[in-house]
Structure 1
């Protein structure tokens, strides 16, 4: 029997509203299978960098997704985001912030901070100052964070990670994949029931 645990890849984006809606279910899944698999977070890179203001039609479309998720899952959103910010369709800054936090062992707390800032506090994680403030509030080594966050190496690491996500089939977020002895299998996402996914994972493991 192999002593190497299967890998469970969680492909996500910190500014993906469905990932925010999935959070409670994902938390239960993690707790249930943590001893059986190595859980690896993979950034999917939803939207590259841009300075262009998001068109009003797209703003309305994304806000409608929020309402759909809210109705479907009971997830909370702060719609003041749309009136208090200048939205841009850019999630790569938040992804780079996640990587810079990962280098300090703080990927998941940074993810929590970005999601809460975006969805509950109506702050814009497409803006670098917002992300740097979050890192300060988390008590990260801020000098090192800023160096990593703004570096070309981190941008390249992000592009490499996004390419890996696409290679294994992670085109939508969230996505789950099990890598067992080099064979990668996608696990269907169930947004409402953690037990269904836990049972599926345990049968594959």
Structure 2
């Protein structure tokens, strides 16, 4: 039997990943059930307690404006006035991994992205991430154990998993975030990201999965 995995290489605080969200959601929901989707955190920016330099803030705001203009993505620029931005995404990656242990990774990534880009909260802060987990724990459709999440986000096992996923992300692709890599019977294929439509991506995946390997 053919074994197929689609690796989604991302970072919860990557602005282009946020821009890709509407298409990724469609793609994810339309994939055949025979394809296993594997989320891989890429670790965009390591732990840092220093405030982000002004020039870097301006550069990232510029990325937001570009994505906004090209894709119509919504951003809340109040973030830059209401927080002390840090170039640090590893905590958000740890939160994603911790949530995955409870089967709630997708919900956590969604919560982080909405917190950062719409609610002007700072997911570089553990306290913000714990607050998001608490919100998720109050949703009846999810089964989030807040106390367990707090243990897991600080656990050595999560740190090891983060390192392994970052290593895997770099092994899979050098194309940045977001990226898609399809693995069929051990053979890997780079799948082009289309920010406007999921259909081309689905067709590309179907062509590979259906071809004889």
For normalisation by structure 2, the TM-score amounts to 0.93
1:171-186 equivalence runs, <5 A: 171-186=175-190
Query: What secondary structure sits across from 2:183 in the alignment?
Result: strand
Q: What is the deviation of 1:137?
A: 0.5
What is the CA–CA distance in structure 1 between the aligned matches of 2:38 and 2:194, rounded to whole Å? 19
What is the CA–CA distance in structure 1 between the aligned matches of 2:50 and 2:156, rounded to whole Å? 22
Asked whether 1:199 is paired with 2:203, we answer yes
- Larger CA deviation: 32-41 vs 105-114: 32-41
Contact 1:114 1:125 in 2 (8 A): yes
Q: What is the deviation of 1:32?
A: 1.7
Match among 163, 167, 183 for residue 163 of structure 1: 167
Partner of 1:91 in structure 2?
A: 89
CA RMSD of aligned residues (A): 1.0
1:106-185 equivalence runs, <5 A: 106-139=104-137, 140-185=144-189
Query: What secondary structure sits across from 1:126 in the alignment?
Result: coil
Across the two proteins, how many residue pairs are aligned to each other? 203
Q: Residue by residue, what CA displacement relative to the aligned partner does 1:57-78 show, whole Å, maximum 9, x if unpaired?
A: 0000000100000010000000
Q: Residue by residue, what CA displacement relative to the aligned partner does 1:148-188 show, whole Å, maximum 9, x if unpaired?
A: 10112211110111001111115500000010000011101
Partner of 2:35 in structure 1?
A: 37
What is the CA–CA distance in structure 2 between the aligned matches of 1:107 and 1:92, rounded to whole Å? 15
Query: What secondary structure sits across from 1:7 in the alignment?
Result: strand
Query: What secondary structure sits across from 2:121 in the alignment?
Result: coil
Contact 1:47 1:89 in 2 (8 A): yes
Unpaired segments of 5 or more residues in structure 2?
A: 138-143
Asked whether 1:14 is paired with 2:18, we answer no
Unpaired segments of 5 or more residues in structure 1?
A: none
Superposed structure 1 runs of 4+ greater than 3 Å apart: none
